[in-house]
């Protein structure tokens, strides 16, 4: 957990659960076995695929390690050593490096680096680990000052915004609803907690909706300062994200990143006037997944038409403008002074503001560089 963070749309982060069950940005067994089988097809003459599939099943288990990255590397080498030993080491390394780029999750990469030997990190990003008490600590944080928001003027006037689950997914299947109630719901609703806004992000919106129904069946209210949020990676994820509309929250949020294609958000989702956060990808895989700035403009315009607040987080490491690479000095594309003028927009929902009750329910605070700084 962190009292301060460089993440543009919040003040700090907390992780009552670290690591997760996996997602398209951190794929698991089936994806990698299928990929290795496809690579073997290039080298194995007259392959008996049923036998090879069985061999890959055995090798996946035999090479199992706590770290997905280490596991995949050893699995690839073992598969070629056993099934295609004539393939040169240089080509196997190339294949391995190529497959590892499928592990695109920044939280997974950080945990791979620090997990198991640095305090506060789980042993493995692939096995969710509980960290009770973190929400209590976050709830006790003081309210933000102007100095805290010097580098984030778009947050000025808002309650402290705390991102829940930036390093994992608390809605992983192994995490009990009882734990989520005790650790997240009770702390968000506590005297300390109600001073802040908690932004709870998941890639499992259906399970978050199930959790709400579990609470409701026990007559436990959803805290109004707890914002249910879901990641949206593509059109299918956008449809899944509609499950959050079942939760009686003051506002919902959607993190639309990373995108590999243009996206039209569902009308029902935008009609709810949610907070839409958009960002391009950074990290080693970004060059393989460039972020076309027309995608950001399209979502910005969709939000404007619906009256939903739009927040462009970053352009990422490989933005594209008019078919060509848009060069930036900032490695994540997070400095909006380098952006095209029409994309310098970071809006926040009015209900996040301390005096939101004076603004009217439909008011959306415009946070452009000029509006936010007063210059």
**Distance set, CA 32 to CA 26, 35, 73, 191, 198 (Å):** 11, 5, 10, 47, 35
Dump the DSSP string for 184-227: IIHHHTSTTGGGEEEEEEES-HHHHHHHHHHHHHTT-PPPTTEE
Query: Which helix or strand (DSSP H or E) is residue 365 part of?
Result: strand 364-365
- Pairing status of strand 253-256 against strand 310-314: unpaired
pLDDT for 205: 98
- Alpha-carbon gap, residue 46 to 43, rounded angstroms: 10
- Alpha-carbon gap, residue 14 to 373, rounded angstroms: 28
Report the SS3 class of residue 255.
Answer: strand
> What is the pTM (predicted TM-score) of this model?
0.91
What is the block-wise mean pLDDT of the chain (375 residues), using blocks of 10 residues? 91 97 91 94 80 92 90 96 95 96 91 87 92 98 93 95 97 97 98 98 98 98 98 97 98 96 98 97 86 98 98 95 93 92 96 64 50 37
Whether the Cβ atoms of residue 41 and residue 35 lie closer than 8 Å to each other: no
Whether the Cβ atoms of residue 202 and residue 175 lie closer than 8 Å to each other: no
* Contact partners, residue 69, CB within 8 Å, separation at least 6: 100, 103, 108, 112
Whether the Cβ atoms of residue 318 and residue 333 lie closer than 8 Å to each other: no
Report the SS3 class of residue 364.
Answer: strand
* Contact partners, residue 42, CB within 8 Å, separation at least 6: none
- Alpha-carbon gap, residue 329 to 24, rounded angstroms: 29
- Alpha-carbon gap, residue 108 to 104, rounded angstroms: 8
Residue 163 CA neighbour count, 13 Å, CB half: 24
Q: Which residues pair with 162 in a beta bridge?
A: 12, 198
């Amino acid at each position: 957990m962190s009292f301060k963070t460089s993440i543009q749309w919040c003040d700090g982060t907390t992780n009552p659960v670290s690591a997760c069950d996996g997602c398209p940005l951190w794929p698991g067994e089936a994806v990698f076995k299928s990929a290795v089988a496809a690579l073997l097809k290039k080298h194995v003459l007259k392959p008996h695929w049923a036998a090879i599939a069985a061999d890959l099943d055995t090798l996946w288990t035999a090479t199992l390690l706590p770290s997905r990255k280490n596991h995949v590397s050893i699995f690839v080498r073992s598969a070629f050593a056993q099934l295609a030993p004539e393939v040169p080491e240089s080509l196997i390394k190339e294949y391995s490096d190529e497959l590892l780029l499928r592990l695109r999750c920044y939280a997974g990469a950080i945990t791979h680096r620090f997990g198991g030997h640095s305090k506060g990190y789980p042993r493995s990003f692939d096995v969710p680990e509980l960290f009770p008490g973190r929400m209590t600590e976050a709830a006790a944080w003081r309210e933000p000052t102007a100095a805290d928001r010097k580098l984030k003027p778009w947050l000025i006037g808002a309650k402290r915004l705390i991102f829940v689950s930036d390093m994992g997914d608390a809605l992983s299947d192994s995490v009990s609803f009882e734990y989520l109630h005790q650790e997240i719901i009770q702390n968000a609703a506590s005297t300390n907690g109600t001073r802040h806004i908690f932004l709870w992000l998941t890639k499992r919106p259906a399970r978050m909706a199930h959790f709400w129904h579990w609470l409701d069946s026990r007559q436990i209210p959803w805290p109004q300062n707890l914002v249910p949020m879901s990641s949206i990676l593509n059109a299918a994820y956008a449809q899944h994200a509609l499950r959050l509309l079942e939760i009686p929250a003051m506002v919902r949020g959607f993190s639309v990143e990373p995108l590999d294609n243009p996206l039209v958000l569902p009308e029902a989702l935008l009609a709810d006037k949610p907070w839409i956060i958009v960002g391009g990808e950074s990290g080693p895989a970004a060059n393989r997944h460039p972020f076309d700035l027309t995608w950001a403009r399209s979502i910005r315009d969709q939000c404007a038409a619906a009256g939903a607040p739009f927040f462009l987080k970053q352009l990422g490491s490989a933005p594209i403008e008019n078919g060509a690479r848009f060069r930036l000095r900032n490695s994540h594309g997070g400095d909006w002074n380098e952006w095209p003028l029409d994309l310098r927009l970071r809006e926040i929902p009015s209900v996040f503001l301390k005096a939101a009750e004076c603004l009217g329910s439909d008011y959306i605070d415009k946070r452009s560089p000029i509006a936010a700084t007063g210059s």
